[in-house]
Amino acid sequence: MEKLWKEGFFGKGNLSRSEPTWFWRNSNNDNGKGKRKEKQKLAAEQITEQRRIVRKRNKKGRVNQVQNMSKVQQITKEEVQEKEQDEEQTIEQTLTQEEENVLLEDIETLMLTTQEAFFLCYGLGILDIYDLQDNLLSAEESWKSFQITSSGFIIRYIVYHYFRSLGWVVRCGMKFGVDYVLYEKGPVFKHAEYAVIILPIHTSQNFDNSQVDVDFRNNCMTSWSWMMNLNRVCVQVKKSLVLCYVIIPSTTTYLTITECIKEYKVRHVLVKRCIPSKLK
């Protein structure tokens, strides 16, 4: 699990935001009885939790300030700090007593999308895929199985394989309303630069419904207003929108994995919002 994350940023911890850090966050350095080192690096979840505590404390302080505006009270800074320290010590002692005799076991698992799992199996050859009866599946069997269980699997995998082959770290973009987000090095280094939306193009009307998911994105309103709305969302999160067109071949019957990768064509277009004042 750790190797898949550190050597390619594949998957997501089922108990973490992204990187599997649940065991590390919940374990202490001194066998469960000591405090964490003050200079120890914090996980993303811990940083977020600290920010929420600070915001909640500030909000509570503003409410109390409004309620006590009519009262004249003289409270020194030292008294406020002493009260906050007492509250923090009480909470910390309670948590320490409850967790003192608990033996922590790493129960977190790494979740992979069908595209990630098949890329590790077929593209890199480092992952074995089993069915529900614990039978080992070949690459061809996994290919057929994922087409049944995952909507638009072929189209999504073609795009995933394409950008991975170019050296990008490809992650799920559901959080930003797109299919994928692209990192130059990985999530731990800096934010994703590009947000990818997949748009399939059928070159023939006589395609086999059992081989290609023809309903994939057919209900999506690909108009200028839709594009501008999506682009505005990407701009707000400091990402550039990429329209990725997947050209589906006219004949898709009995295509093998290798044939699919060769026959399907990928074209991408970078979309940027035009601001006249910046073009002068």
- C-alpha to C-alpha distance for 191 and 171, rounded to whole angstroms: 11
Cβ atoms of residues 43 and 36 within 8 Å:
no
Active site residue 35: no
Segment 10-20, tens digit of pLDDT: 988 888 877 77
The residue ranking higher by pLDDT, 72 or 230, is: 230
224 — pLDDT class (breaks 50, 70, 90)? confident
Segment 57-68, tens digit of pLDDT: 777 777 666 666
The fold of 155-278 is: Trna Endonuclease; Chain: A, domain 1 (3.40.1350)
Helices 139-149 and 153-165, axial angle in degrees (round to 10): 120
Segment 188-214, tens digit of pLDDT: 888 999 999 999 888 766 554 444 555
Catalytic residue, candidates 160, 162, 239, 264: 239
- Pair of tokens at residue 215: 């309903």
Active site residue 191: yes
Active site residue 3: no
HEC string for 51-69 = HHHHHHHHHHHHHHHHHCC
Catalytic residue, candidates 191, 194, 245, 254: 191
Question: For the chain, where do the domains classified as CATH 3.40.1350.10 start and end?
Answer: 155-278
Catalytic residue, candidates 157, 162, 180, 183: 183
Residue whose entry in the numeric block shows the structure tokens 């077929």 = 122
